Amino acid sequence: MSSPALQSRTRVTRIAQEAVDRARLTVVPRVRTRAPRVPFVTLVSLVLVGGIVGLLLFNTSMQQASFTASSLETQADTLAAREQTLRLELDELRDPQRVALQAQQMGMVIPSAPVFLDLASGTTSGVRTPATRENAIQLQPPAPIKPANLAPAPVVVEVPAAPEATAATTPAAPAAPTTKPRKNRNR
């Protein structure tokens, strides 16, 4: 930096020795161009504020998403459970026992041997056996036999044949229930 300045000085000295001697030269102060500060500060502030607000918004939206996620998860769980429950109900409806009970109530009977119908020739193969009520299989086990003390033997009261006259005067009604053997005996 100093060497070109030195050269110029010597050159100046050489060119105008007198002037140099007469007037001492001073360095001209550099003119500082002052950039306006306001836009910069504003920009920085804006970036800062924007960042913070953005972060805040981002955070809020993440929280919001988290709430949504967990509520959706709950919903998914509920729906999955519902689906499973429905599937179970469907399986229970398909229970062969239930289907058979309904079919038997409608008068349907499982045949003892199959017969095949050939659609192309319109012929059947196999022996046609009637499916009768006897072919129906017993779907429900019979009621268990009750122990003796729960199913007491019917009380049979022998009523001597009353003469016509007394029968007319005394009402026979009260005696009737005791003489009737119990019909709903459990066997």
| Residues between 63 and 122 that touch another protein (CB under 8 A) | 63, 65-67, 69-70, 77-78, 80-82, 84-85, 87-88, 91-92, 94-97, 100, 110-116
Nearest to another protein of 36, 141 (CB atom)? 141
Q: How far is it, in rounded angstroms, from Cα 113 to Cα 126?
A: 8
Q: Which two tokens stand for residue 182?
A: 């119990």
Q: How far is it, in rounded angstroms, from Cα 61 to Cα 69?
A: 12
In the 8-state DSSP scheme, what is residue 113? S
Nearest to another protein of 49, 117 (CB atom)? 117
CB-based contacts of 20: which residues, under 8 Å, 6+ apart?
A: 12, 13
Q: How many residues touch another protein (CB under 8 A)? A: 39
Q: How far is it, in rounded angstroms, from Cα 42 to Cα 159?
A: 121
Positive/negative CA dihedral, 102, 104, 108, 113: positive
Residue among 62, 157, 159, 162 that touches another protein (CB under 8 A): 62
CB of 148 to another protein, least distance (A): 18
| Residues between 128 and 157 that touch another protein (CB under 8 A) | 129, 137-139, 141-142
Nearest to another protein of 65, 176 (CB atom)? 65
Nearest to another protein of 145, 175 (CB atom)? 145
Nearest to another protein of 38, 127 (CB atom)? 127
Q: Which two tokens stand for residue 137?
A: 């299989």
| Residues between 1 and 60 that touch another protein (CB under 8 A) | none
Q: How far is it, in rounded angstroms, from Cα 97 to Cα 187?
A: 25
Beta strands in 45-152, from DSSP E residues, in sequence order = 116-118, 123-125
Give the binding site for another protein (CB under 8 A): 62-63, 65-67, 69-70, 77-78, 80-82, 84-85, 87-88, 91-92, 94-97, 100, 110-116, 125-127, 129, 137-139, 141-142
